[in-house]
Chains A and B, each alone.
Chain A
């Protein structure tokens, strides 16, 4: 099968959905013909679809999302890009109070088919305002779906589902994933929300990991295989809805779990998954739940400082060894 990058997979999803449905349009800062998006995800789309459907906006995050909400409730399917995930803080009212609640508060009169794409993640030395992983903020807002694709295949399939759906989707990308290559079929496919994927089968311990951490977990699993440890890796792919059943099923099989997430540990993604296991799979556990996450600090700039806070293979291996 052909291999393409995560970035190209996202672009293919956008392009194909724009071709399929004239109500799909894109808006964001510098996503148009002059720049093609800060991470080049939308590169070339303005040339193909025109400036009306691939809209460069002012630097006004709140208005970008609010405009997308207004368009979504009146028949369009906007896909808004926020250049860095950290900047969603500027648009938080529109995301959390408006997009997420507009259907509920109006008694189901309307739908808000809106996708907000944004990159999270540390590792490129751009410090605290451009490196955070804030997925958990959005898990805490009923009314939003949260997608966290880790591969080009998942990125394309989940983005298509997000665009075709009837609800606001907070679509997390990761800066370090954009150049990663993976198999993506030429033919049409979508991936349903709420369906985790076992990225690697194993028998001794379950690792639930998301986004870039899936790749670090895979690498850790490979190293541990040489030591005779069989690691199963479960990638939830969407955090809302969360495939609790798949997580519990894996824990039932292995009796051990390590949750790996790049965001801060306190009240983060790993905390929610650990809570699910505590509530629904405690009886299957042979060891306490272990979490590998960033410490509760902002992301520092200098390379040795930054590397110190991002979970790495070593930390994952250590955690796995502690539970087996």
Chain B
């Protein structure tokens, strides 16, 4: 697919995807050095979804995210340093160390936060959409969740409500085929999550979630529909996580051929290939970007590692807002 996009937009998408990939590789490494408390759920391999969708949004549009949320933050424009610092539990992190990897938010860029309860972000996204409607702002909300979440009651409740009220919400299902270690075919009798849209009377589309341009195009259509007050869309992005569910998961339940097949369809390699092939970018230009991104990530790591931990008694702050 060739989209009539200016070079700078395409290069920006490449750069964002690269930021996520390099960021996640670093997080993986830092975990191994015991610098990351708790657990991590890496987004590597799914970059085209977050970047494709967020490229179709404005800065003041909203997103909601999941336990596998680093990529959503970065795609929406979050600061790499503060994101990394939060993952390391530092005071300089987005949530001052109260949230960690699974709970990052940046309200200043419309990133309404990641919830680690599977499916819990859907109704919150509907509420943000309702709020945009009532405040007449024209904002739209992109709600990320996995195919596992589509079996939660909140999926049904939220999409039905958003559809009944024609709210500006784009439900983005990241179908990476596995809910932890449970393959979709073992727990669902359908192949395409998008088919479920029929029961809510809204459009449902399945796209190649490893093709950032395909995701972007579907998101643009959904965003336009939402802004025209025609209601929500369900976009299913078929993708694959390149690592296990969490850091300790070697993902042995996935056949080797399957993993290799998806690695060959790596979303970043594909866009890179396309940029070179269509003579949009030169090898030298892309290498320069790769160098720059790599250095940005190093800066983020340095910032996070050197930042201090919060004072223990800060645990008692932020429970309630003062009037």
Name A residues whose Cβ lies closer than 8 Å to a Cβ of B.
Answer: 23, 25, 52-53, 57-58, 60, 62-63, 65-76, 78, 93-94, 97-98, 102-112, 142-143, 145, 164-167
Q: Which residues of B contact A70 (CB under 8 A)?
A: 64, 112, 123-131, 141
Where the two chains meet, the residues of B that have a C-beta atom closer than 8 Å to any C-beta of A are 62, 64, 93-99, 103, 105-107, 112-113, 115, 117, 120, 122-132, 134-135, 141, 153-154, 157-158, 160-161, 164, 317-323
Q: Point out the residues of chain A lying under 8 angstroms from B317, CB to CB.
A: 108
Contacts of A25 in B (CB 8 A): 134
Contact of B321 among A62, A71, A111 (CB under 8 A): A111
Q: Which residue of B lies closest to A61 (CB)?
A: B157
A107 with B131: in contact, given A57-B161, A165-B323 (CB under 8 Å)? no
Please list the 7 inter-chain residue pairs (A to B) with the smallest Cβ-Cβ separation, ordered nearest first: A70-B127, A66-B123, A107-B95, A63-B157, A60-B157, A108-B318, A107-B96
Cα distance A25–B112 when bound, in Å? 21
The answer for the CA separation of A25 and B126 in the assembled complex, in Å, is 15
Which of A67, A103, A106 contacts B123, CB < 8 Å?
A: A67
- Which A-chain residue is minimally distant from B86 (CB atoms)? A107
> Within the assembled complex, what's the spacing in Å between the Cα atoms of A25 and B127?
12
A-B contact pairs, 12 of them (CB 8 A): A23-B134, A67-B126, A69-B124, A70-B64, A70-B124, A71-B128, A73-B112, A75-B135, A103-B318, A106-B95, A143-B320, A165-B323
The complex places the Cα of A98 from the Cα of B323 at a distance, in Å, of: 20
| Contact residues in B for A107 (Cβ distance below 8 Å) | 93-99, 318
Besides A71-B127, A71-B131, A98-B124, 18 new A-B residue pairs in contact (Cβ under 8 A), listed by A number: A58-B161, A62-B123, A66-B120, A66-B154, A67-B127, A67-B158, A70-B112, A70-B126, A73-B112, A74-B132, A93-B120, A94-B123, A102-B113, A106-B107, A107-B93, A107-B99, A110-B107, A143-B319
CA distance A93 to B153 in the complex (A): 12
- A143 contacts which chain B residues (CB < 8 A)? 319-320
With a CB–CB cut-off of 8 A, which chain B residues contact A164? 323
Q: What residue in chain A is nearest B96 (Cβ atoms)?
A: A107
Contact call B320/A106, Cβ cutoff below 8 A = no
- Is B96's CB under 8 angstroms from A166's CB? no
Contact in complex: A63, B126 (CB < 8 Å): yes
CB distance from A80 to the nearest CB of B (A): 10
Who on chain A is nearest to B103 by CB? A105
Would you give the shortest CB distance from B103 to chain A, in whole angstroms? Answer: 5
Neighbouring A residues of B94 by C-beta, 8 Å: 106-107, 109
In the complex formed, the residue of B with least CB distance to A25 is B134
Q: In the docked arrangement, what's the CA distance between A72 and B128, Å? A: 8
Closest residue of chain A to B155, judged by CB? A63
User: When the two chains form their complex, are residues A71 and B134 in contact, meaning their CB atoms are under 8 A apart?
Assistant: yes
What distance in Å separates the Cβ of B277 from its nearest Cβ neighbour in chain A? 42
Note all chain A residues with C-beta closer than 8 A to B95: 105-107, 109
Q: Which of B96, B125, B132, B161 has the largest count of A CB atoms less than 10 A from its CB?
A: B161
